[in-house]
Amino acid sequence: MLMGRRLSLCLLLHLRPLAGFAPTAVVYRDPGNTLADIQRTKGAINRIWDLPQSIVSTAGLGSGITYAWDPELCANMLPTFREDLDGISFITCNSLRAAWSRALNTWSVHHPHITFTDVTNECDAASDWTGGAVDGEGCSLAQMWVTTKSNATGDDVAATAKSTYAWSTGFRHTNGREAEAALYSTVGTVIGFNIEGDMCWYLDSLFCSRFHQLKEKFGSDVVFIFGQVLLWGLWTCAVLSTIWTAWTIIQRHLEVHRANDWSVVKQQHEKVAEGDEEAEERASQAGDR
């Protein structure tokens, strides 16, 4: 029995994942994710950004991941936002870029080796919009190209990411350890926001998330009908309140107009004059006595 336990322990130690690795994170249906590829990486995590040894290297996470915005991205995305009013724009291109920057900063503040560098202005100055890492799409200076894409998957997705990879024999993880086996490292990616169909974008996620929670609980149709009834009810109350306020103002103006009418003023003066005459008569009668 003791010998059997020792043998089991030896087998577990022999079959344990290599230090610094985890079960493979690749998707089998993707090109290049064959069983042979997975076996020769010995279960290493594939398709992630590496950290180069040299501090001046721009590969992988070195010097930060460079990204650039498609010059037509704002023009394509802004019409899909429903946070504007007719003639008044609350969402601008600067609003979108600021939101994107905040999202990237969320990654940066949680990891010392993950940073991002915006090279959109450099690409614009050089008119460099081709030669990107993924199929030559986008700026050649950018490892990450941000654009709009048609929803080729047919799924209800808000955005898609397509990356390109390179077989690396000297991969280095962010913990400083070098991979013990070759693997695929990410060298570039294209992020495409879906703008097709009824896709609606918004920046106020805290407000809009409440509606998504209601949709999941009661269904989209129920929430839509309830929203219409609520809005029409509020609109009706606002119209009735406006009409009542206007009618009150008109009544007050009519009362003032009647009070200032010449005939009314004349009658008031006559009453005052009659009262003065009566007072004088009473005073004279009192003097005679």
Residue-level pLDDT at 268: 63
Quote the CA–CA distance of 201 and 209 in Å, as a whole number: 12
Quote the CA–CA distance of 227 and 211 in Å, as a whole number: 10
Bridge-based pairing state of the strands 159-168 and 183-194? antiparallel
Phi and psi, residue 149, nearest 5°: -135, 150
Encoded tokens for 121: 């202005």
Q: Where are the domains of the chain?
A: 20-202, 220-288
Residue-level pLDDT at 20: 34
Quote the CA–CA distance of 138 and 249 in Å, as a whole number: 62
Residue ranges of E strands in the chain:
65-69, 116-118, 130-134, 136-139, 144-149, 159-168, 183-194
pLDDT tens-digit readout, 134-146: 888 899 999 999 9
Residue-level pLDDT at 14: 31
Phi and psi, residue 39, nearest 5°: -65, -40
Quote the CA–CA distance of 90 and 84 in Å, as a whole number: 5
* Type of residue at 240: L
Quote the CA–CA distance of 14 and 6 in Å, as a whole number: 12
Bridge-based pairing state of the strands 130-134 and 116-118? unpaired
Residue-level pLDDT at 141: 92
Q: Report, as ranges of residue numbers, the positions in the chain whose pLDDT lies below 50.
A: 1-29
Pair 101, 120: CB distance under 8 Å: no
Quote the CA–CA distance of 125 and 199 in Å, as a whole number: 32
Q: What sign does the CA torsion over 99, 105, 107, 109 have? A: negative
